[in-house]
Structure 1
Amino acid sequence: MSEQPKKIRTLFCIAVLQGFFDLPSSEIGSVWKAFGEMMGRLNGMDGVEILGMLDDDETMVGTSPDGYPWTAYIMADMPDRDSVVAACNLFRTIEIGQYRLWKYCRVEARMGRALEVPAEYLAKK
């Protein structure tokens, strides 16, 4: 019996950009709808397990600066690097009228592995 390949623990860091805040209130709903589509499509990808989400919009008001801190985070176990690229590509392909989601949000994926303490350090002596 072959061993399943380890999934890639991935943190999707999402920034809300100034373009979102510049929208008239009547157009904000279309961005939220597109963002919901992105989350649904990510969750529906083969082999993807979303572990958690965090949105700090209540304590961070306005646009995200370049880099940390981000506005929202999605932690997921992804089957491979190609699936991480495909998830990021959702921001390039989901349409909002004549624009794409990336006009309003930026994403960066951090890939690694689940942090596990080696068994020899857990054993009682």
Structure 2
Amino acid sequence: MSEKQALRVLLCIGVNQNFMDGTAEEMKEVWAAFVSMMQGIARLPGVRVLGNMDDDRIMVGPSVAFPWTTYVLADVPDYDTVAAACNLLRITPVGDGTYKLWKYMRIEARIGRELQFPA
């Protein structure tokens, strides 16, 4: 019997207009919450972050769909862990915790498998 393969997941994260309308202090608090969320993704059991890409130098303004602001490529053990990664936006507090990160950002997961081909 073959070993269960990890899911290859592309997390697509977009910043929304609430972030763009925020004060400089609010933006700093959102950034701190974003870093916490990214660390949380990497700490989920069985997750191996392969890399990330930030697109905000050539994509300016809020992203409600493609192109997204930033991407994370990771191997994830199962669907529930993908859902847990996405859920971090709902539960990660910003600043004093009045709002959660999903007020300022959105996340979408694309789930597939590693494409393997001969070298």
Interval containing the TM-score (normalised by the shorter chain): over 0.9
**Secondary structure, aligned partner of 1:33:** helix
**Secondary structure, aligned partner of 2:73:** strand
CA distance in 1, matches of 2:107, 2:37: 12
CA distance in 2, matches of 1:4, 1:78: 14
Aligned to 2:82: 84
Once the two structures are superposed, the pairs formed by residues 6-25 of structure 1 within 5 Å of their partners are 6-25=5-24
Q: Deviations over 1:27-74 (max 9, x none)?
A: 21110010000011110111100011000111111111x321101000
User: What amino acid maps onto 1:93 in structure 2?
Assistant: I
Aligned to 1:4: 3
**Secondary structure, aligned partner of 2:49:** strand
Pair member with larger Rg: 1
CA distance in 2, matches of 1:51, 1:26: 31
Once the two structures are superposed, the pairs formed by residues 30-69 of structure 1 within 5 Å of their partners are 30-64=29-63, 66-69=64-67
Q: Deviations over 1:56-106 (max 9, x none)?
A: 111111111x32110100000000000000000000011113111001010
Deviation at 1:4, TM superposition (A): 3.2
Aligned to 1:116: 116
CA distance in 2, matches of 1:33, 1:107: 17
Moved over 3 A (4+): none
Which ranges in structure 2 are unaligned for 5 or more consecutive residues?
none
- For normalisation by structure 2, the TM-score amounts to 0.93
Give the root-mean-square deviation of aligned CA atoms.
Answer: 1.3
Deviation at 1:3, TM superposition (A): 4.5
CA distance in 2, matches of 1:43, 1:82: 15
